[in-house]
Amino acid sequence: MHNVYSCQLYSILIIRNSYVIDTVNKLAEAAVQNLIIPVGLDSSVYQMLHNSGITAFDSIDEKSIKVARPSDGINLITQTSNRMKKSFMIKKQTHAFIASRITLEFAQLKFGENLIYVPPTTMEADFYPLFIVIPFGKAFDHREEFNIMISYLRSTGIINYWKSIEFSRTKYKVSYQNAINDESISEEQLSIEHYQSLFFLLEILILVSTIIFCLELLKKIINNKLMTDVQ
């Protein structure tokens, strides 16, 4: 029923731990220096950065690339993070995805803080503190009353309440999935241990069989020799 476009800065930990991009100005500086590529949705909301008259916004817009869906931006961030982890000593250009904080926090919850960094909620990290869009026809006669009602609903904390409910559900899903993965790993490890035990058992049986065969062979040789001596 509503789309919350509280567009705020989002990026992974880049370059070095001593240099964390957690403000819009830092993102603009890094983009100008070609240290990071800003990524935004190809939507009317992100287009507000274009020719905004704000130096930092214009710099970010000039250096940014567009993606069609939020999932595309999230995947780009996680893939870049994984590549940086695998080649830590190699200096690579990375990305920062600009989207609603709710989207980014859920992505961080799903993929983990080691792959996704969401800066603290500050005015310096905000592109748009609050932007709620609810579409209705031009002939809607109660627009002002409707806006007042939306403001009132937000002041009651119902949006945060919905957010907390969804966070709880997502945490449960993530925890449940992690438990399934851990169980699968345990089953796989148990199967490997079983195969290892069977292999050791097979080796023991082969060794015992070899010893028995040698004893039987030795016994037969001794018997043959005794029979030869008797004759």
Per-residue pLDDT of 107-155, as tens digits, reads 888 887 777 888 777 777 776 654 555 566 666 677 777 777 777 776 7
Give the per-residue pLDDT at 47: 73
pTM above 0.85, yes or no: no
Give the per-residue pLDDT at 19: 54
- Tracing tokens 């109660």 back to the chain, one arrives at 142
pLDDT band per the 50, 70, 90 thresholds, residue 182: low
CA gap 100, 4 in Å, rounded: 7
Which residues, in sequence order, are CB contacts of 202 under 8 Å at separation 6+?
A: none
- pLDDT tens column, 209-220: 788 878 888 877
Spell out the domains of the chain, with CATH numbers in brackets: 3-135 (3.40.190.10)
Give the per-residue pLDDT at 192: 59
Burial class (CB in 10 A: 0-12, 13-18, 19+), 197: exposed
CA gap 222, 12 in Å, rounded: 80
